[in-house]
Structure 1
Amino acid sequence: MNRSKNCVQNNALRYSPALVLVLMLGTIAHAGDWPQWRSDSARNAVTPDELPAEMHLQWVRQLSTPRPAWPASQPSLRFDVSYTPVAAGKLLFVPSMVTDSVTAYDTDSGELKWRCFAGGPVRFAPIVHDGKVYFGSDDGYLYCVNAADGQLLWRYRGGPTERKVLGNERLISSWPIRGAPVLHDGKIYFSTSIWCFMGIFVHAVDAKTGAGVWTNSGDGANYQPQPHGGAISFAGFIPRGYLGVRDDRLVAPGGRTTPAYYDLDSGRLIEFQWGRKGSRAWQVYGDVLTLTAGTKQVTAASGVVTMGDWKGTFDGEPWSVLAADEKLFVVTTAGCIYCYGARKVTPTEYGLSEHSTTGDEHIGIKPSRVPRASVELPDAVFEAANQSAGYGIVLGVPTEPTVERLLRNSKVHWIALDSDSERADAFRRRMTDAGMYGTRVSVHVGDLADNSLPPYLANLVVSKGRTHVDAEQETVFVRNVFRILRPYGGRAFLEVGAARLRKYVDAAKLIKAEVRPVGDNWSLLVRDGALPGAADWTHNYADGANSSVSKDELARAPLGLLWFGNGPPNDEVLPRHGHGPAPQVAAGRLFIEGGNMLRSLDIYTGRLLWQRQLDGLGEFYDRTGHQPGAGETGSNYVSLADSVYVIYGDKILRLDAATGKTEVEFVLPDDDDPAAPNWSYIAAWEDVLVAGASPIGVTKDGFVPQRYSSASKRLVAMDRRNGRILWTLNAEYNFRHNNIAVAAGKVFCIDGLSRAKRDLLKRRGGSLDEYQPHLLAMDVRTGRIVWSTDQDVFGTFLNYSTEHDVLLQAGSAHRDRAEDEANEGMVAYRGSDGSVIWKNLGLSHMGPCLLLRDRIIAQGPAYSLLTGERISRKHPLTDRPIEWRYTRTYGCNTAIAGQHLITFRSGAAGFCDLEGDSGTGNFGGFKSSCTSNLIVAGGLVNAPEYTRTCACNYQNQTSLALVHDPQMDMWTFNDLAWDGRPVRRAGINLAAPGDRRSDDGTLWLDYPSVGGRSPDIPVKMEPADAKSFRHHSSLVRVRPGSAGYNWVAASGMEGVRRVTLTLAKGEVPPRTYTVRLHFAEMQDVKPGERVFRIAIQGQESPGALDIAKEVGRRTALIKQFTGVEVTNELAIALTPISRSSNATPVICGIEVVEEKASLGN
């Protein structure tokens, strides 16, 4: 809760007589009100008061064009298509998703009385109760303001921190309020967050005081079935839309999913069941709005509202209708409010501000009238703004002339950051009055030092007049500025000399930071090039080598949200079952294909960079039925830092990667055919483009030319800058596209046919008596054959390791792959000379294989790239050698990887944690596509929306990006078993949703085991019905220097008297362990109320434990015991000694680590 006064009333009300205020306060919330959405907490849309039988238009007010969070193609999430007011007394309260505000208008006249601002869009109807107005914002706060004047009384943060993201094209909280507040029995219920992996927080707050009553934060990561058979994931229910109350239950709509029920008194999740594809559901069709006022029904439809014999007209489509103060209010989808009442008057019309939101007159100051002396920044700043787009950060609230000049001829959306809330509110008011707030400029209260802004956000940063305290503080400041700069040229203009700035940059050890002087007192700090350790994904299988593994070193678990819902919707993207090409990433740009277009997005913000109309480009993949798609034919485009090469019929288009404009067209004339042949495959290496031409298929009629095929008759190499042909090669049979790998200055390919296609030809009488396929390696620039072999050539997929100079011949059989894929046999060759390193012709496997460092990951198991032997690992509990493999639940795509993650669909979007060896987890809240679209590149996990036409009602269907964030939750399962051998190291995480491995190597197992398979060890809890609790880990503090884990302390058992762990079975010698017990006091317990003693193996520790006294509430605490001897079972006893009602012991986790002295046993 925060009481900072960031809401400012309108001057018209501020100076009105005190008597008016008293009268307004006296009339707030009487029987004629419409105090919340659809009138009451049950959302009945009924008011007992009658409306006048005859009504007339009183006034009309046009508001800014609404900016809903979600596109029209997401109808179940259209809760803010337009404005949704409520009314009490003589005031109409209107929320704004545009100007981040709630505004009170006089119901009689339509005049503005006051306006209160939030830190983000206000998308839902407010609540009016007892002289107060409550509303929730995308900034994550629930606000309570005085209904008479809009003054802030209190606010309550629904998320754990101030962490921000770009969400739905606005800078908002990582946990926006998207479960709309509802008032019932003096409490306000609401929820924050729409992403399970970020945590879901459902709250009850005392409406009078703003004090929290309860919070449910522990169900977001529940391991449960998703809306597809076999699709089980760490992904719980997400409230989306208007909450309601029925009986003793809080009813929460799920947006795209079915609703859920929570207990009103405790917040416990009572019931939720996924609606699955093919299941029955109620559906309502129509665009008519109704409500009941007294004994009459009001109906609003397109352009007309009726009540009995009365009829009123308006322009447009109705969005919201309410009855209050003996008046009827209609809000249209275009943002126009119509008020009807009994008085017969000439309607008052309130139009938008005359100031334009486009062109040069941004805030009502003509360009010629901007005095240069009033502009406080160097001309270089404005020149940069005019040449830029994206997002700009101004540190401190700028003056109006500065804002006007920053916006003129610029496509930058400017965000001001200021620590002074009153200054920020004054700026909001001025920009709102100018018609600019929320569309071109916004302001946030805060400071760079809190690191709440998302990294890589800003194309431009401007800082003027900073007080230089000392070099250390300035170094920190420069580091924080650099953190938010976008890679590949983000620029910061700082009021500091270049020499001093270079010292700060050096002290901060900033990599790829360039400093340039701008006049005498200003400098430019540039973030040049890629993030150190980041890598691109330029081809369908990552690179021309078909490795299916990004070289990106930055993306690793755990990951948090960077942005979501930005850029265009998926309406024009290819459908998921057509298996179009995988999205590609180069130089901070993501490229994704549609049926008739190619689109480029900024990976760091999601904004659209360009979209190129290319009719019929993706027609082969634009199918809703299952087909192998690009998994068989290959991609029809390749993306590099400077150019995108697109196969477009008989042309290859070289597009400028920055603009999408065609620079060159490549056409290959055919000596035997006057018509140019079609292109069919494409790859790039350095300055060479390698393409397949004259695609052919093997059918019942033999070899047949086809426009789309898995193979080509010819290979062509050309200069990728101008299309000059370097060499061509005709196949004796064909060049299968997945059997072409381009890397290390060579083209590796197979001239041959799959076994299935050879059998087809034989059945049709084809002659293959002298069939002799060849595996070739050619110089990429000359076409000279470096080596070739005709021995054991069978594969349908070639990929190459540049690190180890190893070429792998294998197959890529998998769900929705080509029917003739090879599914057994691997041969590894030395890429330089073709010598066979190893082969295993009988090895069954799935593909495509991933070449990750020195291993082959065959969509599950792993083999040594250098020897072909199975990769082993140590069992996480016993250290015995076991075979390495990853597992997943249902998923329709093939896995791909970065250096630290394998990504795939496992029910929801999923991953295998390679770096931490934690197991398989989820990015709960959305599903990845049937085409692999969790692309590790640019330092991120990029997840462009690619599930169009999917009928599964997953919680979200939008694009997003994830960035490494060690503070995030992460839960996994491990498809392993414990065989009874002595445990070397293990953790028992009581009431946790799943497993997780800590940095020191301990695998923490959930107990009870609810989060999928685990190598569970027997645990006996006494009493067996001990009460469990679970909270999101972000709500638990870990003291600096402590060895605790908030994700262990966040859940536990209460009332436990004895815990017994089985650490070995059978006859084994005793072992000595270090035992660590993890605790946290999560309830409102005072020191002295919960005190208990601890005994291990019957030996009581000195003193008693009082968690609240020792560390306070919601803080992790560890008690360590060394030299504990265990043969088979470890027994822990907890004995209460206080007499309080809260006296029952509580424990969160138990960790055992065998001590070195006993490892010889």
Structure 2
Amino acid sequence: MKDIKRGSWIAVLCWAAWALAGANGSKGRAADWPTHQGNSQRNAVTEERLSLPLSPVWVHQPRYAPEPAWPPPAKQDFWHEESNLAPRVDFDLAYHVAVAGDSLFYGSPAEHAVHCLDAGSGALRWSFFTEGPVRFAPVVRDGKVYFGSDDGNVYCLKAAGGELVWKYRPASDDRRLPGNGHMISLWPVRTGLVIEDQTVYGGAGLFPDHGVYLFALEADTGKEVWKRSIPQPAQGYLAADAGALWVPSGRTGMMAVALRDGKDVGSIDTCGTYLVATQGRVFCESSRYQRHLLIRGALARPDHFVTVQEETAYFQGPREIAARTLAPYVQRTTELARQRSRHKQLSEELKKAGTRDPAKAAALLAQLDTLQKTIVDLEDQVENKSHLWRRKDAPAHSFVLAGDTLFCGRDGRVTAARTGDGAEAWTAKVAGRAYGLAVAQGRLFVSTDEGSIYCFESGQPAPLQTVTAPAPTSPYSHDDLGAAYAAAAETILGQTPDRKGYALVLDCGEGRLAYEIAKRSEFRVVGVEADAAKAARAREALAKAGLLGRVSVHHIPKGKLPYPQYFANLVVSDGAVVSGELPMDWSEILRVLRPYGGVAMFGGPRLTTAAAEETLRAAAVEGGRVLSDRGAWVAVRRGPLAGAGEWTHQYADPANTTCSGDTLVRGRMTPLWFGQPGPRDMIDRHNRTMAPLWKNGRLFVPANERVIALDAYNGTRLWEVDVPGSRRLGVMKDAAHMALADDLLYIAVADACWGLNVATGRREVVLQSPPPEGSGKYQWGYVAVVGDRIFGSIQKSGASLNRQGNMCPILEGDFRQIILSEELFSLDRRTGQTKWRYAGAIPNSAVGLGKGRIYFLEARDGAPAARSLDGRIRIDQLFSGPTFLVALDAESGRKVWEIPLRLPFQHIVYLCYAPATDAVLLSGTFNGKVGAEDHVFYGLRTFRSDTGVLLWEQDIAAGIINGTHGEQWQHPVILDGEVLTKYFECDLRTGNTLPSRAFSPGGGCGTLSGSASAIFLRGGNPHMFDLQSGTGAALNHVSRPGCFVNIIPAGGIISIPESSSGCTCSYPLQASFAYVPTEIAQ
């Protein structure tokens, strides 16, 4: 019998025994489909019957395809040997609809809107625009439409005309940030609402550390009935049944609260956003890999969808469609789960008994044999004796039951099967994957991932009517004022180095300057307007222009802006163009303006040069100047942040300190932005690729044979370039393949090094490594850049690990191989001219630069290193012969000094230069004993950088031997006069150990990164330890960083680009994040 991994099925939890008393929720009128999946239970059942065959009547094609909030997962999890991973957060892959009477409603993330269509023709009736994406289908009840938005509000509209009845904001504060590609609330309403007994239920927030709320509102008035905080994100379509509200959380477990007061009544340790709550049972995803079904922890077939009608359950899976009588099926699978659990328990007891207690072992074996027969019998009952019928079938993306017909949405088609036997009775083609189905008013509605919404009806086929969104048109008159706005936009963009990112338009008015800037750039434009009526008119106009969504207009009273520090590449004022009046609160403008080139520019034809100069003098703003161009302008370009650090090499710098030196990252932190890139194009976390790099406001993320450049302050994807042959894995045993200068990002590829323009990604130069003296194929290994010099190494082709897979047997544990170079060299990075070469057997992980010298370890003739045929070798073998620490002059390659060494290292070796003490540090690990216990020891050897004289040495007992969570390869952080790892701290001047601070919260397999004020590490979630206060805390409780260096404190912020790719553990959000100190953000 094959073992099935824990938690790999749809969960059907029979919770009626402990649920609150209460009737099943209302199912809505049979003729309507008033909410996603038809009713509050989300069971996708309607009594309405459709007469087959159906014919397509119309297709509605919106202006934009859906914009899912979260990127798809990795394609595989190598550690668990699972491929074709299914997305677990998939609520907005299509425009799901609600239908009431002759009206159809859907929300649009791309347009920040809810649209109402004529259900009979697909024609647009009205649109209502919000201040952020609308990701869930509305709920329609008693002539009103209810929905939530990423702008942090719940809305109630009149269904007939879309007029606002009321809106409600669950959070007490209005704080916004770039999230999932839009400027949204820190507390987005990311749940599909539920209405039960004239009460609206919903949830808001993704970051429990900053507040996540569940709430209940009076449906007629929006008055709050109750509100409470919860310790996990609220994300997905809520479901209500038997007096309880079920709350999905994305990639982690869901909880249940009482409808009447919000108190906890249960939870399920499961994951995903698919949820059905009906007849006292809860069906939900619990798979780490695919969408499957579980009953009280029992493993059933890997079904994707379920719908229940009375005592019959219909299941749609990857290979079959089936009908089962629910009660005996639940009973058998529950018993099967119990017996499997008992089998596992007895197996553990047998392991403990072993050969020490033969009699007990024999008895346990007999019990296990009997139990195995019972399990096989139960499996047969579940598999073969629980069906009313079953048929082979293809996978589906949606599944509903209408009368006696089961409709399935599939790739490029929709099908119908009869409930009597499952035989296919009808099929029709659609464009895209059919993720959404609804049956109402005699029609079948199909929503696809391409954005199309189809309507099918019974009757004779007729020509399909295609209803498209109107072509974008200019919403403003072509008059002198329009010409002035156009000229202003040209002037502003002429002074702005960026064309991507975020532009903030103050005093936005009716959106005319925002419109002109958006037309001429790729900025996401955020307009701020204190007059609600003007803001509404601006949204209407920008929607007509096809720009609403990329341009958002926020109604914000005068005063403090709700946006985070540093996010805006450009800040301008519409009001200044019209009136010539300039903003007076420069502190707020500079607070939100991006360092390293962000531009604030105010003026226009009505501003005089004298007034502009007086404003600049009064404001006393650094970097400001007055320009004359079709009027006068005050322009401020923000420079670098004083005290901000950078991260230009794998371990922060060419010296390998793993410390950015950033003095600004300290205290409590708050989210700055989150979203892309996601896990799909990243290297698997256990394969441990190199760290992201950071300089001058740009973040460079190493992806799978690709590099992605982001604006570090708002997450905008600036460019991405495919770099075939660049993948490098197991970086702790090797050297990284990228290094960063002011102008170029250098990437080692085969036997060369590409230089990519940091602003555009354009390949400006290809530097060729010097030809090797020996025969055979070689590649570029080590890479570092200092000034106009680039430093590299030559290694055997294929020496660096580059094939993704389960690499834990290669990287984890003791006595693993490291990568070896055969020559170091230096080139002029401008001309490519070779400046010097040095031949020797040199481990890639033990090369560093500092004080004008390059330092490295070298194994001399007679050592096994000289006989390494593939460029890989165990460290204990490498150091078994003559070994030297060598220093060369970095400019000329002249040998400054060398000293012979005897090193005990067996697992890893690192070299760092410590600027504060002008010393070279060697760090490595080996096995030893403390009393009778085996331990991994960290050996530290420190030398004067000018002479190589040994200053001190120290061996420190640390983790367990042969560990699998980085016990052997922790890279040190060099912070002023100290060396730190998660196991110990030492004084770099004396070698004395210091009182160790509890950096590690446990469970972390990465290594430390540091700033001047803090230490960062993986401990399940990303953690920060503040060195000034001596306290540590998780930056969040919703994500996981990568398994090596992934948390980058630089530029006054913390950047954590996605690096958990392939991880299927239960945590809510898998994306990229950035954080800013709370005291600055506020």
TM over 0.5, shorter chain: yes
* Residue of structure 1 equivalent to 2:307: none
- The aligned runs of 1:849-998 (5 Å cut-off) are 849-872=972-995, 883-966=996-1079
Distance 1:758 1:101, change over 3 A: closer
Encode CA deviations 1:762-791: one digit per residue, 9 max, x unaligned: x99x99999443222322112233343335
| Equivalent AA in structure 1 for residue 445 of structure 2 | F
Shift of 1:316: 4.0
Shift of 1:504: 5.5
Distance 1:368 1:783, change over 3 A: farther
Distance 1:718 1:280, change over 3 A: farther
| Equivalent AA in structure 2 for residue 660 of structure 1 | G
Could you tell me how far apart the structure 2 residues matched to 1:871 and 1:383 are? 55
Could you tell me how far apart the structure 2 residues matched to 1:53 and 1:607 are? 48
* Residue of structure 2 equivalent to 1:320: 436
Other structure's SS at 1:427 match: helix
Kept in 2: contact 1:293–1:323 (CA 8 A): yes
* Residue of structure 2 equivalent to 1:165: 177
* Residue of structure 2 equivalent to 1:557: 667
- TM-score, normalised to structure 2, is 0.74
Distance 1:848 1:382, change over 3 A: closer
Counterpart of 1:446 (choices 556, 571, 577) is: 556
Encode CA deviations 1:16-67: one digit per residue, 9 max, x unaligned: xxxxxxxxxxxx9855222221121111222334446676554432212222
Kept in 1: contact 2:68–2:93 (CA 8 A): yes
Shift of 1:164: 0.7
Which range is displaced more, 901-910 or 192-201?
A: 192-201
Could you tell me how far apart the structure 2 residues matched to 1:368 and 1:406 are? 17
Other structure's SS at 1:571 match: coil
Which range is displaced more, 580-589 or 663-672?
A: 663-672
Structure 2 residue 61 is matched with structure 1 residue 62: yes
Other structure's SS at 2:88 match: helix
* Residue of structure 2 equivalent to 1:37: 36
Shift of 1:185: 2.2
Distance 1:560 1:769, change over 3 A: closer
| Equivalent AA in structure 2 for residue 640 of structure 1 | A
Shift of 1:811: 1.6
* Residue of structure 2 equivalent to 1:668: 769
Could you tell me how far apart the structure 2 residues matched to 1:842 and 1:333 are? 57
Kept in 2: contact 1:498–1:515 (CA 8 A): no
Kept in 2: contact 1:669–1:675 (CA 8 A): no
Could you tell me how far apart the structure 2 residues matched to 1:345 and 1:843 are? 79
| Equivalent AA in structure 1 for residue 638 of structure 2 | D
* Residue of structure 2 equivalent to 1:437: 548
* Residue of structure 2 equivalent to 1:490: 598
Kept in 1: contact 2:57–2:465 (CA 8 A): no
Encode CA deviations 1:586-613: one digit per residue, 9 max, x unaligned: 2212222233222222211222222222
Shift of 1:686: 2.5
Shift of 1:137: 0.5
Aligned-residue CA RMSD (Å): 3.8
Aligned residues: 879
Distance 1:551 1:470, change over 3 A: farther
Kept in 1: contact 2:936–2:958 (CA 8 A): no
Could you tell me how far apart the structure 2 residues matched to 1:836 and 1:498 are? 66
* Residue of structure 2 equivalent to 1:79: 91
| Equivalent AA in structure 1 for residue 31 of structure 2 | G
Higher relative contact order (CA 8 A, sep 6+): 2
* Residue of structure 2 equivalent to 1:593: 702
- The aligned runs of 1:289-438 (5 Å cut-off) are 289-301=398-410, 302-306=412-416, 314-341=430-457, 349=465, 351-355=467-471, 363=474, 372=483, 375=486, 377=488, 379-384=490-495, 388-397=499-508, 402=513, 405-438=516-549
| Equivalent AA in structure 2 for residue 392 of structure 1 | A
Distance 1:808 1:63, change over 3 A: same
| Equivalent AA in structure 2 for residue 71 of structure 1 | P
Could you tell me how far apart the structure 1 residues matched to 2:896 and 2:1006 are? 36
Could you tell me how far apart the structure 2 residues matched to 1:841 and 1:327 are? 76
* Residue of structure 1 equivalent to 2:738: 637
Structure 2 residue 230 is matched with structure 1 residue 240: no
Could you tell me how far apart the structure 2 residues matched to 1:456 and 1:186 are? 43
Encode CA deviations 1:999-1022: one digit per residue, 9 max, x unaligned: xxxxxxxxxxxxxxxxxxxxxxxx
Kept in 1: contact 2:413–2:433 (CA 8 A): yes
Could you tell me how far apart the structure 2 residues matched to 1:363 and 1:203 are? 41
Distance 1:48 1:756, change over 3 A: farther
Distance 1:529 1:812, change over 3 A: farther
* Residue of structure 1 equivalent to 2:842: 735
Other structure's SS at 1:678 match: strand
Could you tell me how far apart the structure 2 residues matched to 1:866 and 1:242 are? 59
Shift of 1:159: 2.6
Could you tell me how far apart the structure 2 residues matched to 1:698 and 1:35 are? 58
Shift of 1:457: 2.2
* Residue of structure 2 equivalent to 1:1019: none
Could you tell me how far apart the structure 2 residues matched to 1:768 and 1:36 are? 67
Other structure's SS at 1:647 match: strand
Could you tell me how far apart the structure 2 residues matched to 1:344 and 1:410 are? 49
Counterpart of 2:943 (choices 817, 826, 829) is: 829
Encode CA deviations 1:901-933: one digit per residue, 9 max, x unaligned: 211111122222223222343421011111221
Distance 1:470 1:369, change over 3 A: closer
Kept in 2: contact 1:29–1:88 (CA 8 A): no
User: Where does the alignment leave 5 or more consecutive residues of structure 2 unmatched?
Assistant: 1-26, 74-85, 271-286, 290-296, 305-317, 319-394, 419-424, 802-816, 928-934, 960-967
Could you tell me how far apart the structure 2 residues matched to 1:436 and 1:744 are? 53
Shift of 1:387: 6.5
Structure 2 residue 760 is matched with structure 1 residue 659: yes
Kept in 1: contact 2:148–2:189 (CA 8 A): yes
| Equivalent AA in structure 1 for residue 746 of structure 2 | Y
Other structure's SS at 2:732 match: helix
Could you tell me how far apart the structure 2 residues matched to 1:125 and 1:635 are? 46
Could you tell me how far apart the structure 2 residues matched to 1:757 and 1:274 are? 52
Other structure's SS at 2:491 match: helix
Could you tell me how far apart the structure 1 residues matched to 2:397 and 2:772 are? 66
Distance 1:775 1:317, change over 3 A: closer
Other structure's SS at 1:726 match: strand
Q: Percent identity among equivalent residues?
A: 29
Distance 1:346 1:401, change over 3 A: farther
Other structure's SS at 1:339 match: strand
Encode CA deviations 1:805-863: one digit per residue, 9 max, x unaligned: 2322222679xxxxxx9943323333334444433356768631111122111223212
Could you tell me how far apart the structure 1 residues matched to 2:775 and 2:647 are? 37
Shift of 1:283: 4.5
Counterpart of 2:726 (choices 592, 617, 630) is: 617
Other structure's SS at 2:559 match: helix
| Equivalent AA in structure 2 for residue 832 of structure 1 | D
* Residue of structure 2 equivalent to 1:602: 711
- TM-score, normalised to structure 1, is 0.70
Counterpart of 2:835 (choices 715, 726, 731) is: 726
Shift of 1:311: 6.3
Could you tell me how far apart the structure 2 residues matched to 1:916 and 1:865 are? 22
Distance 1:312 1:747, change over 3 A: closer
Shift of 1:893: 0.8
Distance 1:265 1:870, change over 3 A: farther
Encode CA deviations 1:150-175: one digit per residue, 9 max, x unaligned: 22122111233211111111111111
Counterpart of 1:781 (choices 879, 891, 897) is: 891
Could you tell me how far apart the structure 1 residues matched to 2:573 and 2:427 are? 57
User: Where does the alignment leave 5 or more consecutive residues of structure 1 unmatched?
Assistant: 1-27, 221-236, 357-361, 622-628, 700-707, 815-820, 873-882, 969-1033, 1035-1161
Encode CA deviations 1:673-698: one digit per residue, 9 max, x unaligned: 47784221112222222222235989
- The aligned runs of 1:1078-1117 (5 Å cut-off) are none
| Equivalent AA in structure 2 for residue 745 of structure 1 | G
Encode CA deviations 1:1077-1097: one digit per residue, 9 max, x unaligned: xxxxxxxxxxxxxxxxxxxxx
| Equivalent AA in structure 1 for residue 592 of structure 2 | I
Shift of 1:374: 6.6
Shift of 1:544: 0.7
Shift of 1:352: 2.7
* Residue of structure 1 equivalent to 2:686: 577
Kept in 2: contact 1:573–1:592 (CA 8 A): no
Kept in 1: contact 2:848–2:855 (CA 8 A): yes
Could you tell me how far apart the structure 2 residues matched to 1:736 and 1:612 are? 29
